[in-house]
A and B are shown apart, each in its own frame.
Chain A
Amino acid sequence: MSNIIELTGLVVVLIAAGLLLGLTFIRRKAPPVFREIPAYTRFKRAIGISVEDGTRLHVSLGRGGLQTPRGAPALAGLAMLRHLTEQTSVSDEPPIVTSGAGDLAILSRDTLQAGYKAAGAEDLYNPATGRLTGLTPYSYVAGAIPAIRDEDVSANAFIGHFGPEVALLTDAADRANRLAVAAADDPAAQAVLYAGVDDPLIGEELFAAGAYLNAGISHQASLQVQDILRWAIILILLGGSALKLLGVI
């Protein structure tokens, strides 16, 4: 039984890898079209406004360290950060990044530096903009709230692994009258965010940031692979239910 599960896992990973590489590197006549997600539309607008009026963006990567299974949302946040850094490198105020895990803090600084380097403005990189604010859920939130409130931030992106404590961050953004785009992998945090932000991001929308902020073809391909696999899972679930109903399995 264990071997069957491992084999199934391997097959899913290989299929996903094949699709991702194929959709990334095969030239297409037209780019894929995705449905509108209001949160990303507003955030895109906020990026432009922040560059124009010289305010900051704040990206919060959560507290899911990369050596844990909760690391993937932070990787999505880092990919978005890289794109944001390049886009806002001409701004007077660099984006600030807060995180609740040591490895994430290091990677956020590395990503910021890489973004500035790619934009040809490496001398503008400030290591103090990538910060570890706390290692427990509430100390992390307590450290990130002053960044939202006191550092001339015009828009916040909370993308990563959070628990219900993320409500304190969105509340701080709300009180400071700042835009908040928030997505978490934890269902409890998602329920809290549904009540706490104007346009909540649900489930896999967390991983769509790159595709919607035009971070590159691989992000669009990634989203398409998710759609294909999701349909496959839906069909398998429906087929399984039908077979069970018919008494075949």
Chain B
Amino acid sequence: MRILAAGIAIASGLLVLLGYFVPLETLLEIRLLLVQWAIILAAVAVLVGVLNLLGVHWHKIRTRQKGTAYSILLIVSLFASAILGIVLGTNNPTLEFFLEAIIIPAEAALMALLAVTLVYASARLLRRRVDLMTFIFLGVVVVILLAATPLPFGKIPGAAFIEWLLRDNFATAGSRGILIGVALGALTTGLRVLFGIDRPYGGN
């Protein structure tokens, strides 16, 4: 069974990869078909994931672990959203209002918390690592913030040039270098899966 799974995975991977590079109509059609199947499977996987989430929180409630109240709230919200969505339809304005009144403010609150967390992490960086790179990092953060933030007395002279120099030159060049490294890593990781050396779909 494991050999069959590996065989199907490797064959599918090779066909999709070849479909990208070899301009053959048949290969292109097979690639599109396989990608469509993958999208359907990914949607089913979300459903399985939600059931898993339900199982984990149900277990928490049964065994009376810490945060049981939150688990109850999650399960009630999950069923309420699902039932309302099925009965009223996902585009129903009442349902949309309830979802947006809860989800958007909660995510906005977390976003605000993230801003505070980042300031706190930057301040802690001086305690964590005191070296040249830390000072450069924090210096650049301060300069970019000053250049990008609207100030009561207008823009600082020369700030736009420094911002352009740092962001559009150094930062862009640096992030391109990092992305090349990430792409090479992604390529070799993908090839390991393609050759069946790593098998996240059924064990080695």
Contacts and interface: CB of A to CB of B under 8 A. Distances in A.
Contacts of B201: 107, 110
Interface in B72-123: 103, 106-107, 110-111, 113-114, 117-118, 120-122
Interface in A118-142: 118, 127-128, 130-133, 135-136, 138-139, 141-142
B38 A67 contact: yes
Contacts of B106: 138, 142
A132 B45 CA distance: 10
Given A79-B189, A203-B182, A198 B45 contact: no
Contact of B48 (A76, A106, A164): A106
B185 A204 contact: yes
B20 A9 contact: yes
A113 B35 CA distance: 27
Contacts of A146: 67, 70
Given A75-B200, A195-B121, A218-B192, A206 B185 contact: yes
A50 interface: no
A113 B203 contact: yes
Contacts of B41: 103
Interface stretch (B24-32, B51-59, B151-159): B51-59
B179 A187 contact: yes
A233 interface: yes
Nearest to B65: A150
Q: Is the interface of B mostly helix, strand, loop or mixed?
A: helix
B15 interface: no
A204 B181 contact: yes
Interface stretch (A16-24, A29-37, A39-47, A52-60): A16-24
B50 interface: yes
Contact of B46 (A102, A165, A204): A102
Contacts of A78: 198, 200
Interface in B132-187: 137, 175, 177-182, 184-187
Given A65-B42, A204-B181, A72 B192 contact: no
A187 B121 contact: no
A110 B1 CA distance: 14
Interface of B: 17, 20-23, 35, 38-39, 41-50, 52-53, 55-56, 59, 65-67, 70, 103, 106-107, 110-111, 113-114, 117-118, 120-122, 124-125, 128-129, 137, 175, 177-182, 184-195, 197-204
Interface of A: 3, 6-7, 9-10, 12-13, 16-17, 20-21, 24, 65-67, 72-73, 75-76, 78-79, 82, 101-103, 105-107, 109-111, 113-115, 117-118, 127-128, 130-133, 135-136, 138-139, 141-143, 146, 150, 164-165, 167-168, 170-171, 174, 185, 187, 190, 192, 194-196, 198, 202-204, 206-208, 218-219, 222-223, 225-226, 229-230, 233
